[in-house]
Copies of this chain bind each other. A is one copy, B any other.
Amino acid sequence: MSEPAFVAGDWGTSRLRLYLCDRSGHVLARGEGEGAAAPDCAGRFAAAVAPWDSRYGSGAHGKLPTLLGGMVGSTIGWKEVPYLSCPARPEAIAAAALRFEEDGRAIAIVPGLKCVNRTGAPDVMRGEEVQILGALSLHPELARGRRIFCMPGTHAKWVVVEEGAVMEFQTALSGELFEVLRKHSVLAPGGGEVRADSHAFTQGLDFFRRNAQADLLHLLFSTRSRVVTGEMPKADGASYLSGLVLGADVDTAVSLLDISPSDTVHLICTPALAALYDKSLAQYGMKTKTLDGDACALAGLVRIHTEVFS
């Protein structure tokens, strides 16, 4: 059996995924924990790795070095690591990691990225840059030419990578907007589950596309009015609303980032979200390839580790 060499942690707002890795980045053991927004990251981290420490950590090299990425590096996390400006190459991201020693252990936290996006506003990410680096590591051909990545979720990130460098990105509030509207608005109470293969999801996409000159704000109420007037079953509300929101997301991203039908959009997410975005992008004649989000995060941490700790 190969020997443990370091700990990698994908530590987002609401979830920690820990990996015990050997020198080549193979995973020997896994752990989970609460997100970086909960109090006392230092204490919770020490408790989470204590079993590994007691088993492997007393060798010649002391405690296992640890590389962490995600919101753990934000003001609400463990230690704030300043955002690195785009364009940002992988080596620069690794070099900007914040290194410190905690209780005899070498720790490094990956910086987030910032840019001025196409709307002229500042934009930021934390954690997605690790997934991008992981994607480039798992698929080296993506480090050549201009590549479009989309990371659907609470705050969807659309990212342009050129010759392996993160050039710019754009955040859409898609996941969070959908969730707050579904849970807290009058639009879709009892609106069922979102299904990518449903008529209602396609109807929402189509309706946005036909009205792309109107803002989503003037289209959302149709979720309710179609039900109230008997045109749409109540149980279709969530799928329709999701179609509307993702229609707005994709339509604006395609336009802002000059994505052309010949581009492939690389989705980094779960299969369920990939199905929704694949269908949305197909409306614009675009193809997608899906990369698993957790696998990309781990590959990114392993890659950055080799630059930080070797």
Contact = CB atoms under 8 A, between A and B. Distances in A.
B172 A225 contact: no
Contact of A120 (B177, B207, B248, B253): B207
Interface string A238-282: 000000010011011101100000000000000000000000000
A215 B119 contact: no
A273 to B, nearest CB: 16
A255 B218 CA distance: 11
A180 interface: yes
A310 interface: no
B123 A221 contact: yes
A26 to B, nearest CB: 36
Given A183-B184, A185-B176, A229-B83, A218 B170 contact: yes
Nearest to A126: B228
Given A120-B210, A122-B229, A221 B180 contact: no
Nearest to A182: B180
B124 A177 contact: no
A81 to B, nearest CB: 13
A248 B213 CA distance: 11
Interface in A213-238: 213-222, 225-226, 228-229, 231
Given A170-B218, A215-B252, 11 more contacts: A122-B225, A122-B226, A122-B231, A123-B222, A123-B225, A177-B185, A180-B180, A180-B181, A180-B184, A214-B255, A216-B248
22 contacts: A121-B219, A121-B222, A121-B226, A122-B228, A122-B229, A122-B231, A124-B225, A172-B217, A172-B218, A173-B185, A173-B187, A173-B217, A177-B185, A180-B180, A183-B184, A184-B184, A214-B256, A215-B251, A216-B248, A218-B249, A218-B252, A218-B256
